Structure 1
């Protein structure tokens, strides 16, 4: 039976764990909170207490696995450096590192994975490099756009009275269902050593998308600052579609249906 370890079991990680359990995997899921261990076990996973800022003996058992998915919000480069060293000493041969399209700056054009001149100063780039240059295992990097779906209703992405800048900039978002399916496809197809940009096919403007999303939940339509200046990026998802043969479950952001809070 195949074993997969998931570093991070939050909004994306826990449903991902349930997905792999349903696929017949032995799933090892980590958390930094002792109070969540019982809940992870209740979902038929082997629960581990792991904090990359304070690695201990738990990490050895957690890393005894066929594949690893790293999905945590930490930007601690030193912590990741120590984690990479632990992985190099383990039996792991393949892993997925979940990154973000925030590694790209706004260029007012379409951005693809090989557009090296489009990078920001995000610490995620240095962390990605640690995994790419590591010895003894292969890393596939998945750069997700903004995560939406379920409890992450885009109509809640702004505080009352907040003014959105660049209303005619395009959004780069992805539904959690697609995140889970793409991660699963990478492992199923053994697509290692790749970098994938992942977001929905469509890129409506902030004005279009957040107006519709706020109306869908019965909230006040957000305010937008009017300016002639435009600053945006459009993240291409063509590579992940071509390499994995993937068709997005939620390809059209404007076709998403959102429940109102009072329903």
Structure 2
């Protein structure tokens, strides 16, 4: 059976263009926004929008209690229609620093909403923040709880990785429309890691990778998504700032000892599933980020 219906939890900077792309590919797409007004606006994009605020535990304006059997019939019907699709893409920003503990609560609540529905594919959007610094290329099996935030991220992945037909997709630094890397470090002074490798991925490649996972067979549990070229931080962010006529950042001249950084290997999805990146050179992304 082919995947025909997809639910995207979180139609923000990544989720909305992803939903739009999947609609163009012929999928029937449901997408969540936190407010009812924003959810209703998705219908103009051909997306079946629904309101889902995982902080307030609301669904289409109805407060959801601790026990799902307490739902009224109309709420349950809407819930099943929007979330119980062939495939679900879970795209919830961690925001770990701003709201410690909230990420796990949101995901645990979502998992309850998903109930015992049998999905043909569960795609959990994660980040390459799960990897520690390394002098060698970092692959999917190298994730370790090396910091408090990485512990949270790995725990979040584990909530869904044990589900049947699940796959974790770990994105490197996201760039694209509205996210020009020239603004990331512009004007900052005496930064560390001047030669540390840059790990970025363009929005278009994120969308392409998720589309690949929806249509692919025999997936691995985890895939990194990152451009294959890794310029040094000083060279790249100086060029990126100049591209926007912003003040170029400066980097410390001190030794790189203890500032190794990491170089994300994003080739697994290409070798296993034939995925082709549109942007392998972060410098080539600059013109596509305004």
CA drift of 1:190 comes to: 3.4
Structure 1 residues 46, 259: CA separation in 2 closer, same or farther (over 3 Å shift)? closer
Aligned to 2:181: 154
Structure 1 residues 11, 117: CA separation in 2 closer, same or farther (over 3 Å shift)? closer
Q: Identify the match of residue 111 of structure 1 among 114, 121, 138.
A: 138
5 Å-filtered alignment, 1:242-253, equals: 242-253=271-282
Aligned to 1:51: 53
Aligned to 2:86: 66
CA drift of 1:117 comes to: 5.0
CA drift of 1:160 comes to: 3.2
Structure 2, gaps ≥5 residues long: 59-63, 65-74, 97-102
Answer yes or no: is 1:16 the counterpart of 2:18. yes
Output the CA distance in 2 between the equivalents of 1:39 and 1:112: 39
Q: Identify the match of residue 268 of structure 2 among 213, 222, 239.
A: 239
Structure 1, gaps ≥5 residues long: none
Asked if the contact 1:111–1:118 (Cα under 8 Å) also holds between the matched residues in 2, the reply is no
Encode CA deviations 1:209-232: one digit per residue, 9 max, x unaligned. Answer: 111111111111112122102321
* Structure 2 length-normalised TM: 0.82
Aligned to 2:70: none
Aligned to 2:109: 82
RMSD: 2.1
Aligned to 1:6: 8
Asked if the contact 2:186–2:248 (Cα under 8 Å) also holds between the matched residues in 1, the reply is no
3-state SS, counterpart of residue 141 of structure 2: coil
Asked if the contact 1:93–1:138 (Cα under 8 Å) also holds between the matched residues in 2, the reply is yes
Asked if the contact 1:70–1:98 (Cα under 8 Å) also holds between the matched residues in 2, the reply is yes
Aligned to 1:220: 247
Aligned to 2:154: 125
Answer yes or no: is 1:203 the counterpart of 2:230. yes
3-state SS, counterpart of residue 30 of structure 2: strand
Output the CA distance in 1 between the equivalents of 2:107 and 2:289: 40
